[in-house]
Structure 1
Amino acid sequence: MLDTLQLVLLSVIFGGMVTFQILFAPLVFIKLSIDTARPFIRAFFPFYYLYFSIFSFAYLIVCLLEGDGIQAIIAGVALVGFLISRQILMPMANAASDNNQKSKFDLLHRGTVVINTLQLVAFFSALVLV
């Protein structure tokens, strides 16, 4: 039973992240004006990080109960990445944007993108391992 729950949680995380990167984010900036897209994305990201933090935490718990150490490490590291992005990098990026500090914003934004990409690769690897 736990192995099925583990696979479902992993699939929801990976599928959600892929959907966001390939479909949702590009469409927001293609279909909405920049004046609408920016505040929308800014309001969306706290929920994105919270959602995936909760699912990563649930995945971590199931992996620990299953005794699956590699999967637990992937879940735990990803969870930390979501929390760092939500609680530290995103507020700093928003402040940089508000203060017209473009290079600082670009660096912080790039940091969240790198973290998110590494998480996606890690979750893909976890799917391959299951």
Structure 2
Amino acid sequence: MLHNIPKDFRNLRACLVCSMIKSIDQFESQGCDNCEQFLSMKHDRDKVYDCTSANFDGMIFLTDPDDSWVGRWQMISKKKIGIYAISVSGTLPNAVVSEIRAMGMHYKPYMRDTTSKNAFGYEHSIIPI
């Protein structure tokens, strides 16, 4: 469980799909605990920069996803234990979105960006089509 918690607060980034926060090195060595199956960031620093953002607001430490009202409020109650951003600015590059579509899934841009008028409140930013 503690392997996905950042050891310090330098070089932190948030996943553009699920908003999990890790260091650049953690995303590169472990990938995203929630999104690795379709983002494939593990061992690919360029993909880490493409699929994460250093521009995020707030932090939530999700310790009990099934029993967390904050997790439900932030739509992360079905995610893995870890630290999450309240809001993440940015969107995936077109090439990554195309890869996701080829897997039969659909990406909702700005889903995790609550500062944007495009945040419609979908539970997940990647959904099967």
The two structures share one fold, judged by TM-score above 0.5: no
Question: Which has the bigger relative contact order, CA under 8 A and spacing at least 6?
Answer: 1
TM-score category, normalised to shorter length: under 0.3
TM-score (norm 1): 0.26
Greater C-alpha radius of gyration: 1
TM-score (norm 2): 0.26
Structure holding more strand per residue? 2
